Amino acid sequence: MASVTVNGATIAYDNHGEGEPILFIHGIYSSRRQWDQQVAHFSNKYRVITCDLRGHGQSSSTPDTYSVKLFTEDVIALLDELGIDKVTCLGHSFGGLVAQELALSYPDRVRGIILAETMYGLCSTPWDSMAGMMWNVWLPKMFGVENYMGLISQYFGMYTPGGAAYIQQEAGRHMDDPANQENILMASLTFDSRWRLHKINRPTLLMVGQYPHIPMIYVHNWEMYWRIYGAKFSIIPQAGHLLFWDNPAAFNREVEKFVASLA
């Protein structure tokens, strides 16, 4: 592990391989560890960068009000530190919000973006806001944090050996710091790219799993496909929200095909 101090936070990252750079951004309450299988696969041919977003994994939490914009600025500062001019960015779930903002605010730093099981925000409609509050606020209070973690880890990890244990450990750690957890949550609940999607002018691949763990993601992705000019769409078979774990062979194949098309 390496780390760099950017914008007042210590950002943990790993840097493997050589070649065209690919940046992998994890989902909410997760860490760069979720990409272990992708690092092993892609670092033979590409330069692979994984990082822990501020307040996640081994990166420090700060008293700042978190936002997707702030996370994006952290990523840009990391790329500057590593001397990377342009990158292909793959973001999963919450990480996909950062990838979108990267393409919108810093298009000259982006070769292409891959949005895996992500959405355009949780405040675009009352239904989106309600869904976000249900998953992240109401259910933990209703069932208690420990029972809630058991519930979501079994739900999202049902197709992956070891997936449930990882989710319970990683996400549960964030639940132990309520202030940081709420700060991260508010960043997701205040982001909305719906009416800016047409401004994304970098090659884009949208990816979803065959099994819709989060039905809203399917709805958002079809709209994103329509709004982002030239976007490509891929459904990973025998996979759910954790598609990079559920079917890594198919996931890696689609990612590699897209990255190769950018050459």
Q: What is the CATH number of the domain that holds 60?
A: 3.40.50.1820
Q: List the beta bridge partners of residue 92.
A: 116
- pLDDT tens figures, 148-196: 667 767 777 777 766 777 777 777 676 667 788 888 888 888 899 999 9
- CB under 8 Å to 62, separation ≥6 — which residues? 8, 9, 54, 55
Tell me which residue has tokens 């500062």.
77
- Is there a domain that residue 150 lies in? no
- Is there a domain that residue 60 lies in? yes
Say whether pLDDT at 129 is over 70. no
- Is there a domain that residue 116 lies in? yes
* Residue 122: predicted pLDDT: 77
- CA 85, 68, 74: angle at the middle one, nearest 5? 40
- Is there a domain that residue 23 lies in? yes
Instruction: Using DSSP, state whether 233 is helix, strand or coil.
Output: strand
* Residue 148: predicted pLDDT: 66
pTM above 0.85, yes or no: yes
* Residue 263: predicted pLDDT: 85
- pLDDT tens figures, 218-240: 999 999 999 999 999 999 999 99
- Is there a domain that residue 225 lies in? yes
Mean pLDDT of 236-261: 96
- Is there a domain that residue 9 lies in? yes
CB 250 within 8 A of CB 258: no
The strand pair at 2-6 and 232-236 is best described as unpaired
- Is there a domain that residue 214 lies in? yes
Provide the 10 A C-beta neighbour count for residue 203.
20
Number of domains in the chain: 1
CB 18 within 8 A of CB 147: no
- pLDDT tens figures, 23-39: 999 999 899 999 999 99
Q: List the beta bridge partners of residue 10.
A: 5
pLDDT level of residue 132 (50, 70, 90 thresholds)? low
- Is there a domain that residue 31 lies in? yes
Q: Residue 88 has which token pair?
A: 């292909």
Say whether pLDDT at 52 is over 80. yes
Q: For residues 173 and 96, give the distance between their C-alpha atoms in angstroms, rounded to a whole number.
A: 22
* Residue 249: predicted pLDDT: 97
* Residue 43: predicted pLDDT: 98
CB 28 within 8 A of CB 117: no
The whole-chain average pLDDT of the chain stands at 90
* Residue 206: predicted pLDDT: 99
- CB under 8 Å to 223, separation ≥6 — which residues? 120, 194, 197
CB 75 within 8 A of CB 91: no
Which of the pair, 52 or 214, is modelled with greater confidence? 52
Q: Residue 154 has which token pair?
A: 């079994």
- pLDDT tens figures, 86-111: 999 999 999 999 999 999 999 999 99
Closest among 43, 64, 194, 187 to 125, alpha carbons compared: 194
Q: List the beta bridge partners of residue 89.
A: 23, 113
- pLDDT tens figures, 66-83: 999 999 999 999 999 999
Say whether pLDDT at 119 is over 70. yes
Containing domain of residue 229, as a range? 2-121+178-261
Instruction: Using DSSP, state whether 4 is helix, strand or coil.
Output: strand
* 3-state class percentages of the chain: helix first, strand second, coil last, to nearest 5: 50, 20, 30
* Residue 160: predicted pLDDT: 74
* Residue 88: predicted pLDDT: 99
User: Of all residues in the chain, what percent carry a pLDDT higher than 90?
Assistant: 69
